[in-house]
Amino acid sequence: MAEAKKRAVKAKKETEVKEEPQAAVEATKEPTATTEETKAEPKTATAKAGKRSTKAVREVEEKVEKQERKAEASTSDKPKPTTKNPTRPKAERAGKKYREAAKLVEADKLYSLAEALDLATKTSTTKFDSTVELHINLGVDPRQADQNVRDIVVLPAGTGKTVRIAVFAEGDDIKKAKDAGADFAGNEELLAQLDKEDINFEVLISTPMLMAKLGKYARMLGPRGLMPNPKSGTVTTDVAKAVTEAKAGRVEFRVDQAGIVHLGVGKVSFGADKLSQNATAVIASIRAAKPASLKGSYIKTAHITTSMGPSIKVEL
């Protein structure tokens, strides 16, 4: 039995030795057998969907080509195209009347207050009676509480506007307010109008005793600038005096977030003399309201203009 097993193992080894050269020969012949397959380009495996789909592969190739074109364009020496319609100065974009009026104003010249007001009346381009505006840039920081410039001034020549005044009072104060020229004065009647949001006045004056009743209307009156305030002189016990001043031309000014005061000082029809009186009163009030903690220049620049008219630089 042992000899038989030995003979079987020996025969098996002989057959394996004979098969190995033949397999090696066949392996060398396989590349040359299919010449058409070797000539064809290798194909990437694709799927029906996903990143290996035909559509996804084509999109990737297009994206690569686009990036290459951008890179070539950035490295090229071609000049960048300029904008077709560059922004033109305001003098060129404005109307014919404005352009003619702007020719009367020298851009680099500082005019005196009298010259600027006289020139403003000549450069008004509107058919209606334009408002003459005074704009003063102050060197203050409105974020600081002590530099928030605010004041009330009574214009000697008035504002040129018809102001409707309502007085929230009771008792004898109602009669005093009406005698002084108030358009409306009362207590419960005014509250009834506010409940209906019927606001037909530009100034609201109240006595200190009745201010508590206006608290629930603060959200309606506050954004409109109609809420009575002691700083603006609309909360007072002397309602007759407050009405007289409001009718005469009492205005309130306050710096905006950029530290600029904007205020109308009259109408073009006033003439240079009356406008000069109002502007002088406003400038004096602004100078008197200079904060004590301010360091550096207080009044930086000043300009005078009319509604839709050219701006005139003023030397104060």
Please state the pTM of the whole predicted model: 0.62
| Dist. CA 178–CA 162, nearest whole Å | 16
So what's the pLDDT on residue 4? 61
Sign of torsion over alpha carbons 270, 273, 274, 275: positive
Pairing label, strands 203-206, 312-314: unpaired
201 contact partners, CB below 8 Å, separation of at least 6:
164, 165, 166, 183, 184, 226
- All residue ranges of the chain with pLDDT < 50 are 17, 20, 23-25, 27-42
| Dist. CA 170–CA 127, nearest whole Å | 44
Enter the CATH code of domain 161-248: 3.40.50.790
Domain ranges of the chain: 92-160+249-316, 161-248
Q: What superfamily in CATH does domain 92-160+249-316 come from?
A: Ribosomal protein L1/L10, rRNA-binding domain (3.30.190.20)
Residue 76's alpha-carbon distances to 17, 70, 72, 80, 97, in angstroms, are 68, 10, 6, 10, 48
Sheet of 299-306: strand order equals 260-267, 131-138, 299-306, 312-314
So what's the pLDDT on residue 9? 62
Percent with pLDDT over 70 in the chain: 80
pLDDT single digits (tens) 71-110:
887 765 556 555 566 677 666 777 888 888 888 888 888 9
Of residues 211, 207, 170, the one with CA closest to residue 187: 170
pLDDT single digits (tens) 191-224:
998 998 888 888 999 999 999 899 889 899 988 8
CB 132 within 8 A of CB 266: yes
